[in-house]
Amino acid sequence: MTNYAFRRASRTNVNLLIGVAGGTGSGKTYTAMLLAKGIADGKPFAVIDTEAGRASHYADQFEFDVLELEPPFSPENYKNAIVSAEKAGYPVIVVDSMSHEYSGDGGILDMQEAEFQRMGYKEAAKMASWIKPKKEHKDMMSRLLQIRTHLILCFRAEAKVDMVKVDGKWQIVPKQSLTGLDGWIPITEKNVPFELTASFLLTADAPGMPKPIKLQQQHRALFPLDHPINEESGRLIAAWAGGGTPPDWRQDHRHAIETAVDMAALRGAFQAATGAAKKAGDAAALAEFTAIKDGRKSSLELAALPSAGSPTTAADSSETSHPAS
């Protein structure tokens, strides 16, 4: 009988698969390299380039080794390139672009077409023509999920629409999808996005600004939505993957409110804290900051009260007449 041994679960050496999708001019490659630099923590990372050397445009800004992958862009070719980078010991691998594995020269779509042709273009063989490319893709994904090197996958994305009937009239609306956002769909095999640790849509009107497609609660503090993805996000998610605890953005604000020396300092600290909480959309933090502020305000007012038998000074009166909002 097979011995199935269980152990206590712990978050250590988590393999990151991060997806960055977008159209032309959205900053996919640059954003992926910023993330890779942060995750690699100063070490050179690997780039698998299917874009005819485009990654090397950033050679002066980042320290990386590049493999220019050539057609056929089959799942097996991708798998072999990624496994080679893993064996070479790179801490991070950027694949730019993963979309070629699906729609590029020799990719899944071309493989299916070749199989369909081999089968004589018979309608009855159309489903069967997908067996070989889907199996090769499945083998690639199974291997990618097992490697210990962090992966950043870049995807081209295209805008898609649907025709829907609203109040009896047909309207064109952005296509709804679990794997895309606002009608923008990553060009890849349909199941790939579900395997990612986190994924983001980038758009040309705001290059590098994250629009989350998949972002779990424990990662939200690592990717603030009000500024572009950067090296710090890479460092933080690498720390999380290694078993560390990401820094709590609330802590500095808590400390500033709790240690405010007077009412003016308390007002400033509270305004900064509530501003950050509103940007983060964190109602719980807003309530927490308000409670801490009320407690500190009471302490300052109590400290300002004259002791028994002492006259109230003008300074005391002034200090307690402007409570923190």
Distance CA 174, CA 159 (A): 8
Q: Does residue 246 have a cis bond before it (omega within 30 degrees)?
A: no
Residue 309 has pLDDT above 70, yes or no: no
Confidence of residue 315 (pLDDT cuts 50, 70, 90): very low
At 325 the pLDDT is 44
Distance CA 214, CA 139 (A): 24
Per DSSP, 181 falls in state B
Confidence of residue 22 (pLDDT cuts 50, 70, 90): very high
- Structure-derived torsion over alpha carbons of residues 217, 221, 224, 229, reported in degrees to the nearest 10: -100
Q: Which long-range contacts (CB under 8 A, 24 or more apart) does 289-294 make?
A: 289/250, 289/253, 289/254, 289/257, 292/254, 292/257, 292/258, 293/257, 293/266, 293/269, 293/324
Q: What is the residue type of 84? A: S
Q: In DSSP terms, which residues pair with 201 in a beta bridge?
A: 21, 211
Assign 3-class secondary structure to 77-144. HHHHHHHHHHHCCCCEEEEECCCHHHHCCCCHHHHHHHHHHHCCCCHHHCCHHHHHHHHHHHHHHHHH
- The dihedral built from the CA positions of residue 220, 222, 226 and 228, taken in this order, carries a sign that is negative
At 283 the pLDDT is 80
- Pick from 56, 36, 42, 60: nearest CA to 154: 36
Q: Tens of pLDDT along 83-124?
A: 999 999 999 999 999 999 999 999 999 999 999 999 999 988
Tokens linked to 299:
């302490």
* Diameter over CA atoms, the chain: 105
Is residue 235 within 8 Å of 5, Cβ to Cβ?
no
More confident call, 2 vs 286: 286
Tokens linked to 78:
């991708």
At 3 the pLDDT is 85
pTM for this entry: 0.75
Assign 3-class secondary structure to 202-213. EECCEEEEEEEE
- The dihedral built from the CA positions of residue 182, 18, 28 and 38, taken in this order, carries a sign that is positive
At 245 the pLDDT is 65
Per DSSP, 16 falls in state P
More confident call, 10 vs 271: 271
Residue 151 has pLDDT above 90, yes or no: yes
- Pick from 144, 170, 174, 149: nearest CA to 162: 174
Confidence of residue 137 (pLDDT cuts 50, 70, 90): very high
Q: Supply the angle between the helices 250-258 and 263-280 in degrees, to the nearest 10.
A: 160
